[in-house]
Amino acid sequence: HFNKSKPHSQKSGELSEEHKETATQRLLLERAT
């Protein structure tokens, strides 16, 4: 596995960013209704 040599910090950062976007979208949807 080549990904094993890669640092997890970058992957976790991307995931957190995605989670943030989804969370904000969810909040906006909840507010809209």
What band does 28 get if pLDDT is binned at 50, 70 and 90? very high
Helix (H) or strand (E) holding 19: helix 8-32
Q: What predicted TM-score, i.e. pTM, was given to this entire model?
A: 0.42
d(CA 25, CA 29): 6
* More confident: 31 or 2: 31
Residue in the structure block whose two tokens are 């950062």: 13
d(CA 22, CA 30): 12
Residue 7 backbone phi and psi in degrees, to 5? -70, 140
How confident is the prediction for the chain on average, in pLDDT? 74
